[in-house]
Amino acid sequence: MANRYFIELAYDGTPFHGWQIQPNAKSIQESLNNTLSTILRSEIYVVGCGRTDTGVHAKLFYAHFDFNNEISDLDQLTYKCNRLLDPAIAIFRFFKVGEDAHTRFSAISRSYEYLITQQKDPFAVNRKWEMREKLNVDRMNQAAAALLEYKDFTSFSKSNTQTETNLCDVTEAYWTQNGNALNFRITANRFLRNMVRAIVGTTIEVGQGRINTADFKSIIEAKNRSEAGLSVPAHGLYLSNIVYPEGMIE
């Protein structure tokens, strides 16, 4: 029986074409597969807790893999992987879990953040969206709060996806402002393709005064992606937290 190991990591999505392996493109998944296969001298395939798109970052991400042998020194494995991996990927730790633990299907909730800077900032390039227009954050928060009243988020989903359902349980969604920095945070049991970026773009339209909260609710109820706002750039988006059942992660 194979042993299952979780990987706790973070990455800057700038140099990658997303998490998932794809032909002729650099991905986080492929980088981890190659590194672990080299170090463990066995073909390793890692499974991620989700699929971030090109340019999207992760402050916290989990992946898992199965290995026939017991790994005696996980700290040493962490050290070796970090030396070999692309500098944009950092592994925090490896830990053994039960054979039924799954980074994607066992997750109870995920949280994303979207970061905006309202002034030119050389340290925010590829890490925040520069958007200088003045926004009414109070109105944006009124719209964001309405997300908790709904389950079907078809209007914020990328078209022609192969998901079985567009139902999500959003448990928090709010904007905060600190000077010229704006931060949107949202937590749900699951997310649809492009959902967070479309929600951010639509709440920004509320902040601009182009639509109001009633319009925002009508957009959700329409269940039509063409009714919602723009999809904001990927480089401002971060997967920031994943929660698993108590006791699964030490």
DSSP string of the chain, one letter each residue: --EEEEEEEEE--TTSS-SS-BTTB--HHHHHHHHHHHHHTS----EESS-PPTT-EEEEEEEEEEESS--S-HHHHHHHHHHHS-TTEEEEEEEEE-TT--TTTT--EEEEEEEEESS--GGGTTTSEE--S---HHHHHHHHHHGGG-SB-GGGSPTT---S--B--EEEEEEEEETTEEEEEEEES---TTHHHHHHHHHHHHHHTSS-HHHHHHHHHHT-GGGS-----GGGEEEEEEE--TTT--
Domain span at 100: 3-105
Confidence of residue 161 (pLDDT cuts 50, 70, 90): low
Domain assignment present for residue 248? The answer is no
CATH code for the domain in which residue 78 is found:
3.30.70.580
Same domain, 45 and 119: no
CATH code for the domain in which residue 224 is found:
3.30.70.660
Last residue of a domain, one of 79, 105, 131: 105
Q: Considering 12, 53, 73, 169, which one is annotated as catalytic?
A: 53
> Which pLDDT does position 164 carry in this prediction?
78
Nearest to 63 by CA among 51, 48, 52: 48
> Which pLDDT does position 249 carry in this prediction?
83
- Which pTM does this prediction carry? 0.95
* Token digits of residue 39: 């170090």
**Is residue 53 annotated as part of the catalytic site, yes or no?**
yes
- What are the pLDDT digits (tens) for 79-106? 999 999 999 999 999 999 999 999 999 9
Last residue of a domain, one of 77, 105, 133: 105
